Amino acid sequence: MVCVCLQCLVDIAASSSESLQWLISSGLMSRLLTELDTDDVLTQLNCLELLTVLMSVRHGRQYLQMSGTLERLEDKLVNTSSDPLTELLLPGLSHAVY
C-alpha cells in the first residue's frame, strides 16, 4: 500500500515543477527518500524504480541532485561490497544514477 501511495506522489511530482515544490514543502517527498535507507531490499528496489520516473523530468533530476539523493545512490553503488544484499540493488542503482 505504501508503494502505491509513493507511486502517486512521484507521478504528481513528475507532472510539473510546481507540483514537486508543493510535495517538497508538505514533507511528502521526504518519505520516498527515507525509504531508500530501509533494510528491506524490496522496498529499496521499489523506491529506485520510482526515482527513475522522477529522473525522467528535468525538475525531478534537479531536486534529486540538490537533495543529495544522487550522491547517496552513487555511494550505495560504490559500497555494494559491504552488504551482500545490496548487490541485488545494482540494476536499479545503475539505472537510477546513470
Distance of CA 52 to the CA centre of its chain: 7
Residues 61-97: tens digit of each pLDDT? 999 999 999 898 888 777 766 666 666 665 655 555 5
What's the total number of domains in the chain?
1
Q: What is the extent of the structural domain holding 60?
A: 2-97
pTM of the full predicted structure?
Answer: 0.78
Among the residue ranges 10-24, 51-65, 77-91, the one predicted with the least confidence is 77-91
